[in-house]
């Protein structure tokens, strides 16, 4: 069974709309939707924002359901100029950029795990699925909706991601992140926490991030609208191809 997590329900609403044979379980103020999605048994849940919220959700998901893998999908802010709104980052290495227990440990090192980052599972299948989605983009994304968010010629990359409990909307903070984590391409608030829980429980995981903004002073877009009309349908198209 595959566990699918997002920080906002809007980010997986299109998947919920396709879910069949639904049963629900509510624990810890979260609803877990079990059912069949594209002939695969899945559990869908939105975790709420932040590392603690996503770690709690991931732990509950692993302990209460027979999970073979976890996929986190949602939006992120670009911190590299080569990324544009609507692009997709498939996570490679996940860093907690606000983890700093120095001088006892090196910056970013997770105490007792002896790791500065955690790696996702082999992404080849997910990247193929994403490219198939991009090849049939207009089947999932309304062109007028894409135009309203200035999305043109979206692409997929397989790169590192930085996670922390801040919403980044400042150019100086972007420069700081580029300096301390030069390999990270986007920033968000959950991925590395999901990665740590999955690593400790030995559950394979993947991270899909749709670029919603460039983490600068223009980052105040209508997130619920972007999540519902763009990110949610990205997840639908990507995972349909992934499960096929």
Which helix or strand (DSSP H or E) is residue 5 part of? strand 2-6
Question: In 3D, which of 41, 31, 23 has the Cα closest to residue 5?
Answer: 31
Angle between helices 51-64 and 191-201 (to 10 degrees): 30
Question: In 3D, which of 102, 61, 76, 92 has the Cα closest to residue 198?
Answer: 61
Cα distance between residue 129 and residue 97, in whole Å: 29
Evaluate whether 129 touches 123 at the Cβ level (below 8 Å): no
Tell me which of 10, 11, 160, 188 is the catalytic residue: 11
213 noted as active-site residue: yes
Q: Mark out the alpha helices in 19-123 (DSSP H runs).
A: 51-64
β-pair type (2-6, 118-119): unpaired
Q: Which residues contact 122 (CB under 8 A, 6 or more apart)?
A: none
Question: In 3D, which of 188, 173, 198 has the Cα closest to residue 227?
Answer: 188
Going from the C-alpha of 67 to that of each of 34, 103, 107, 238, the distances in angstroms are: 11, 37, 32, 20
Q: Which residues pair with 36 in a beta bridge?
A: 20, 41
Which helix or strand (DSSP H or E) is residue 148 part of? helix 143-148
Cα distance between residue 80 and residue 68, in whole Å: 33
Tell me which of 87, 109, 160, 213 is the catalytic residue: 213
Annotated catalytic residues are: 11, 213
């Amino acid at each position: 069974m595959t566990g699918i997590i997002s920080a906002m329900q809007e980010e997986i609403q299109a998947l919920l709309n396709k879910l069949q044979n639904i049963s629900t379980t509510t624990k810890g103020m979260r609803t877990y939707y079990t059912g069949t999605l594209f002939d695969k048994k899945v559990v869908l849940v939105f975790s709420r924002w932040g590392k603690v919220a996503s770690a709690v959700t991931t732990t509950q998901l692993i302990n209460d359901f027979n999970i073979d893998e976890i996929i986190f999908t949602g939006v992120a802010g670009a911190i590299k100029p080569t990324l544009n709104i609507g692009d997709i980052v498939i996570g490679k290495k996940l860093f907690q950029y606000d983890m700093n227990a120095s001088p006892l440990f090196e910056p970013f090192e997770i105490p007792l795990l002896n790791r500065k980052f955690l790696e996702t599972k082999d992404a080849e299948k997910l990247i193929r699925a994403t490219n198939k989605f991009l090849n049939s983009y207009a089947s999932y994304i309304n062109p007028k909706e894409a135009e309203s968010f200035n999305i043109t010629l979206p692409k997929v990359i397989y790169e590192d991601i930085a996670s922390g409990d801040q919403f980044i909307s400042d150019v100086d903070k972007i420069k700081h992140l580029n300096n301390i984590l030069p390999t990270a391409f986007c920033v968000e608030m959950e991925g590395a926490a999901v990665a740590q829980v999955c690593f400790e429980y030995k559950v394979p995981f993947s991270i899909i991030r749709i670029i919603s903004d460039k983490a600068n002073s223009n980052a105040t877009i209508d997130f619920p609208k972007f999540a519902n009309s763009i990110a949610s349908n990205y997840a639908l198209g990507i995972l349909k191809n992934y499960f096929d």
